[in-house]
Structure 1
Amino acid sequence: MRVLSDMTRRRFGLLTGAGLVAPLTLHAHDGPHLVEVGIESFAFVPDRLEIHAGDTVRWTNHDIAPHTATDKAGGWDTGRIGKGESVEIVFDAAGTYQVICRYHPKMTAEVVVTES
């Protein structure tokens, strides 16, 4: 976390009063991104993602056992991911996806996709 000095706070206050902060703090989604999810110690890491429609998630298995990343609702499935292998899924539609491993159903994750 960045610490602001008193002088920086005053300048920020002046900008706020002038209505100049909003244009400086808005962030547009600048196109599709690749987001990495590791599979390690029988868990998805991270186990919750917030991404935009059009983004790609790369699932990489770092475990000795094979795994899958499977949409619990049945919309998509990576298929078997062996040790050291990766599979990419592009998320085109907004929504919340509950993810499990078909081989190890206690392995769960959530992918929240918003409109870009």
Structure 2
Amino acid sequence: MKTLKIFSLRKAVLVIGTTMVFLLFSSLNTTESISNTPTKHVVSIYQMKFVPEKIQVKKGDIIEWVNKDIVPHDVTELNKKWASKTLNKGDSFSKKITTNFDYFCSIHIVMKGSVSIKD
């Protein structure tokens, strides 16, 4: 009878230990997935400015430019590798960020901004 109790106790400890290890690794994996989720950043276009003018994001994050101004604007990469369509008031343009870049409004060339990737 004593041997049976020891066997049952060992079995219970093994089951509880295995369950705890499984839960620990499951929670680590969930945390990792959450931290890899891209963050959305908003740059407002207002009063002939990009606000904020300079923004730092993580690689893979998304920036959304929203035109809150009364005149049309666009978002054009400095070397014209890409550009948004013309954004009228209320329109927006989103881009997944993979590298550092400077940009400007090709309609109003005094409007400039920059995006840099932080570690």
Query: Is this a same-fold pair by TM over 0.5?
Result: yes
> Does 2:65 correspond to 1:50?
no
Gaps of at least 5 residues in structure 2 are: 1-31
> Does 2:108 correspond to 1:107?
no
User: How many angstroms apart in 1 are the aligned matches of 2:109 and 2:58?
Assistant: 26
Percent sequence identity over matched residues?
A: 27
Find the residue that maps to 2:41 and give its secondary structure. Answer: strand
User: How many angstroms apart in 1 are the aligned matches of 2:91 and 2:70?
Assistant: 11
Find the residue that maps to 2:57 and give its secondary structure. Answer: strand
> Does 2:67 correspond to 1:61?
yes
User: How many angstroms apart in 1 are the aligned matches of 2:52 and 2:118?
Assistant: 18
> Does 2:34 correspond to 1:33?
no
Pairwise CA distance, 1:87: 1.1
CA RMSD, 1 decimal: 1.7
Pairwise CA distance, 1:52: 1.2
Alignment of 1:60-99 (within 5 A): 60-91=66-97, 93-94=98-99, 96-99=100-103
Q: How many residues align?
A: 86
User: How many angstroms apart in 1 are the aligned matches of 2:58 and 2:80?
Assistant: 20
What letter matches 1:45 in structure 2? V
| Structure-1-length-normalised TM-score | 0.68
Residue 8 of structure 1 is matched in structure 2 by none
Gaps of at least 5 residues in structure 1 are: 1-27
User: How many angstroms apart in 2 are the aligned matches of 1:113 and 1:68?
Assistant: 22
Q: Deviations over 1:59-87 (max 9, x none)?
A: 00011110011101222211211101111
